[in-house]
Structure 1
């Protein structure tokens, strides 16, 4: 199972368990509201009190024996873990059990990885890296790199290389997470 069932990156919810419950919600016309617990005991308390409807975390089945809770949805038999719902929610249990199959994990994981790879890519136009290799001109921004490098005591070509790697010398480059410009700085920077 996923070592990070839920986390936020750039303000977006992520993780395998989140992706799975989001898929279930989408299939059933529901909306996901996340409540984060410190540990398994707190998650089960939130469920028993009715503050949440399902614990989307691989809970040890022995933790719910004799309780008013039942295993539902995502189950990993080799680890004896599963998601958990209240015993008095048979329709939710049935919906989760009907939706879940081992193939759904593969499908959701593949879709999440594809989306993540797409988001990581910087959208940029391909530009020739050298304006004049013979004259040692790397870009139209060389004079900026030279003055900035002098101020910080770096080789200006290192700054140019970073710029090329980050944006391909495209001042309009923007990554999917919001980094912008030649050096791909975040707006808060």
Structure 2
């Protein structure tokens, strides 16, 4: 019996020793360095960012965004595969980095003394400031000095823009009519659109967001600065000096590279608006030079050829050489990956017949994905919306419509309202949304423009 007890005691001591060793090994493992060499061993760079029009978003099924493209270029230079992790806001971004849920933040993170104590800034130091967004021309001359804001109506969202205006108003001795726009469904980009439309005279935003929006609305003036410069950059943990050095070195060496310049041009310089021309020949009953092809291929999906022509007009203005800011090519403006998946041979993306054939395949595929929408005419609007935005964002808008008591199988005044709200953080971070931020106003207008032009075609051009 004593031997049995002794055996149990020895076994217990052995188990304690093994447990202590395992705990020691685990704690050592947790404290292990995870810098660039370890990332290279894993083969992956995990980048943290936020959804926005200037950082990261999904467009027509493809990942896009200025910060995303720079991250991709940086990861490639290291021979690493890029993985994006999206946070809801800046505090969560910082928490995820500190918690080792990502290797670096690729976002214009404000440089502050508080953050410098726990993070290391890297890459290029970006200087941003707040600007007045106003119309470049019209009945009223653009403001050129902050003192001219006295007596003017400025519309802003609550937060940093509102706070800056309040401070500026005090500095000037009062007189600026500051309107705090508190509607949940209104974003800063919505206010910029309202300035462009002449609905409001002025709003405020950061200069990088303002620059991006001038590519959609060329009649905007964004020259008047109303704040001090704010420095911002990418960031890594303090214990990643090698990654910090690599990012800073890469930035210095690549600021003038073709890839970096192309990304800057894509988001901040190339116009995203198309100048449209009238019907080719009303007398001859011709919409375009491609009417025969529209008639030939529209039959395959049971569409009126004039609707297909309206889609092509909105996409490319019937320009077979057109290449969009996002890289979509040809008459029907399919993204390269989509074009090849739909059978367009490499190098034939701008061939009009190949482009139309591929578009028909894509429309047919989208139609199958949306067969839960019973009304065929209604489904056509959803197909057009998906053609512009990608199916993922339309699915999100349908889910939001259903959640908020609207008919998710009806586009106008139902789902279209929620594609607009996909640019609002409250909505694109909703658990029913799987595809994040999206500039929905483009899709909203896209469907409405095509359908209204189709009605004009029906009245003026024989079937």
Q: TM above 0.5, one fold?
A: yes
Does the C-alpha gap of structure 1 residues 88 and 54 become closer, same or farther in structure 2, counting only changes over 3 Å?
A: same
The equivalent position to 2:240 in structure 1, one of 61, 69, 89, is: 89
State how 1:147-186 maps to structure 2 within 5 Å. 159=307, 161-162=309-310, 165=313, 175-176=334-335, 178=338, 181=356, 184=359, 186=362
Distance 1:87 1:15 in 2: 27
Alignment check: 8 A CA contact 1:174 1:181 kept: no
Alignment check: 8 A CA contact 2:312 2:332 kept: no
Does the C-alpha gap of structure 1 residues 105 and 84 become closer, same or farther in structure 2, counting only changes over 3 Å?
A: farther
TM-score (normalised: structure 2): 0.29
Distance 2:126 2:266 in 1: 25
Deviation by residue 1:106-157 (Cα, 9 ceiling, x = unmatched): 74454237789xxx9xxxxxxxx88xx9875774439x89x976xxxxxx8x
Does the C-alpha gap of structure 1 residues 80 and 112 become closer, same or farther in structure 2, counting only changes over 3 Å?
A: closer
Rg comparison, structure with higher value: 2
Distance 2:66 2:87 in 1: 17
RMSD of equivalent CA atoms: 4.1
Structure 2 gaps of 5+ residues are: 1-51, 128-228, 273-279, 321-330, 340-354, 368-463
Q: Matched residue of 1:100: which SS?
A: helix
The equivalent position to 1:46 in structure 2, one of 96, 106, 110, is: 96
**Aligned positions, number:** 163
Kindly state the Cα deviation for residue 73 of structure 1 after the two structures are TM-superposed: 1.1
Which residue pairs with 1:32 in the alignment?
82
Distance 1:148 1:20 in 2: 41
Does the C-alpha gap of structure 1 residues 164 and 18 become closer, same or farther in structure 2, counting only changes over 3 Å?
A: closer
**Higher RCO (Cα < 8 Å, 6 or more apart):** 2
State how 1:40-189 maps to structure 2 within 5 Å. 40-62=90-112, 64-67=115-118, 69-77=119-127, 78-101=229-252, 104=255, 107-112=258-263, 136=285, 139-140=291-292, 141=295, 159=307, 161-162=309-310, 165=313, 175-176=334-335, 178=338, 181=356, 184=359, 186=362, 187-189=365-367
Deviation by residue 1:68-91 (Cα, 9 ceiling, x = unmatched): x11011321442111110010010
TM-score (normalised: structure 1): 0.65
Structure 1 gaps of 5+ residues are: 121-128, 150-155
